[in-house]
Amino acid sequence: MRFCLLCLFLPAYPFLAPVSLRAQHNQGLEVDRVVIRGNQAMSTDDIITALGFESGNVFDRHTLDQNINRMLHAYADQGYLWTEITSLDIQLSPDSSAVSFTLHIREGPVARVDHIELAGNVQWQAYDLLAEFDSRPGGIFDAALLERDIDRLLTRYDQHGFPYCRIEVSHIQTEEERLTLQLTIHEGPFIRVDGFRVEGNKVTKSYVITREFRLKPGEPFDQRRLNLGRTRLLRSGLFTGVNVPELDVNSRGDGAIIVVHVQEDRFSTFDGIMGYAPGVNGNGGFLTGNFALAMNNLGGAGRRVEAAWIRRDPLSSDIRLDYEEPWMFGIPLTVAMNFGHLNQDTTFTATQFGLLIKWPLTMTVDGYGRLGWRRIIPDSLSAFALAPSRELNARLGLTIDSRDHVLNPLRGAHFELSVEYGLRFNESRPVFQPERSRIQTSMVRVDIEQFIPTIRRHTALIGIHVVNISTGEQVLPVSQQIRFGGTRTLRGYRENEFQGARVAWSNFEYRVLLSSRSRFFTFFDAGYFESPRRTSGGVETLRETKIGYGLGIRLESSLGILGIDYGIGEEDSPWNGKVHIRFRNAF
């Protein structure tokens, strides 16, 4: 609200001036005892807390006057508008070193709402507007509740073309313990959107910005759509700042240009991760790497292209290409295509294509669907245990993202649930016959990340990730198993060191945010996997749990963001961990 409703009800108490005069020679004395008399609706402890004079505090008459008024406001919040202080007795200790006082309260009756009247409303009938009020005739008067009702009414006008609407409490009538309230509505002019004027954009096309507001010329002004549009622009990752939209009203007073000022971010990024895995069993260590180049605003239209190359070990590499086209067919529908090619050591190669469609459900919730094709070709060394295959699959997913910042969140959550069904066609070879030529596959994946702020600029991250694959086969082919381990999943281990048909991992971090893009953190990761395997005695399921821990840092500089992670596995010594160096540059 733009004013305090309680100020309309609370009377002045003439006894406060004499109390102040009697107490003015007692400044700097310690409060020895506070006694409250006559209270029932509020507890003695709550009143003493509101007064701010617990035992041991220093007495100050000016603070006492202010806090008595605060206490009366607390009573009024509960509907006791006629509460008064009948007396305040102040006594000095025998040695004049401390002061005790006794406060006598007359709470009075609780006020109830008898009737609420509206005046000045033209756009809607009074009964229609009052139906949205939580303040009801016969109910206990609640100033905070009435303020929320008025705010809700202002929001309704804001969303229907009346941005200059004002509401004031114009008349209050009291009869016994009942109140009649009259609210006067000054609706102001009805404003339609004449168009948009975008300022500050050098690369991004103006229509890319204005379409996020979901408002067209000729439509009534809607403050909610402007607020949501500004939030969408900030969450797009294309802008470092978006000012609150302003109105440039025309000379007739019935329309306005919406003025939007943006500050563009750098749109292209290079992200590189270098890791070193120490050797085991007498073997030498090796380097791992993950390099990605992304252009996030291609042609100024919000299109995104990314190319990535990943080296997990000396014999494994992965190439990925992604393209994303927003606002297909002039509606907020994103279409993405991706291609990937994987060489998995001396086991197999995998090639896949995917087509994904994503649509917004709410501001923080998105739904998506994906159609995919995958081809597996075993290497000569694994041809005796793995069949070539082709797979068609379809996936439906839901994401919820309420994080306050994508790169360095302090609070919020990210949740994703996806369900995938597919058909895999296995090919028989003279050297290996698969269990079945046609396999129905299903996969369920859940990813949850919750950021919980603790103290100022400190936050705790709790992440839980679960993936389960079902095919009906006794042993899931190695090419179909979920691989995890390394920088993004279970730190302290080699990239994709573990695999299974059912896997889960959790990440716990405590972060100290040094700036909007810098942080220091410690982490503890835990992982679990189940992997059925053929042995001489039949089929056995390997079940293992792994843990890793360590620390890391992200530092923003003029060249980009530098990150260093040091992870230690459960069988490693503190000096034999895995080092990952990450560099992210925007240009």
Q: CATH no. for residue 467?
A: 2.40.160.50
409, 486: one domain:
yes
527, 409: one domain:
yes
Helical segments of 169-322, H only? 206-210, 223-235
**55 pLDDT tier (thresholds 50, 70, 90):** low
62, 126: one domain:
no
CATH number at residue 150: 3.10.20.310
Calculate the dihedral angle through the C-alpha atoms of 530, 536, 539, 545, rounding to the nearest 10 degrees.
-10
- Report the distance separating Cα 146 and Cα 404, nearest Å: 31
* Count of domains for the chain: 4
| pLDDT score, position 25 | 47
| pLDDT score, position 439 | 93
SS3 at position 542? strand
Contact 506, 489 (CB under 8 A): no
Q: What average pLDDT does the segment 316-333 reach?
A: 94
The first and second tokens of residue 170, run together, are 């114009």
- Report the distance separating Cα 225 and Cα 233, nearest Å: 12
* 276, part of any domain: no
Residue % of the chain over a pLDDT of 90: 57
- Report the distance separating Cα 120 and Cα 21, nearest Å: 47
Question: Of 186, 219, 236, at which residue does a domain stop?
Answer: 186
206, 157: one domain:
no
Residue 139 makes CB contacts below 8 A (sequence gap 6+) with 112, 113
* 87, part of any domain: yes
* 274, part of any domain: no
User: Which residue has better confidence, 374 or 428?
Assistant: 374
- Report the distance separating Cα 417 and Cα 105, nearest Å: 58
Question: Of 44, 73, 106, at which residue does a domain stop?
Answer: 106
Q: What is the DSSP string of 468-494?
A: EEE-S-SS--TTTSEEE-STTSSTTS-
pLDDT higher than 50, residue 1: no
Domain span at residue 70 reads 5-106
| pLDDT score, position 51 | 78
HSE of 302, CA atoms in CB hemisphere, 13 A: 24
The first and second tokens of residue 268, run together, are 């292209």
* Averaged pLDDT of the chain: 88
| pLDDT score, position 263 | 96
203, 178: one domain:
no
The first and second tokens of residue 484, run together, are 């995890």
Helical segments of 159-265, H only? 206-210, 223-235
* pTM of this structure: 0.78
Contact 30, 56 (CB under 8 A): yes
164, 208: one domain:
no
**22 pLDDT tier (thresholds 50, 70, 90):** very low
21, 163: one domain:
no
182, 196: one domain:
no
410, 540: one domain:
yes
Helical segments of 380-538, H only? none
- Sort strands 112-119 and 178-186 into parallel, antiparallel or unpaired: parallel
SS3 at position 114? strand
* 279, part of any domain: no
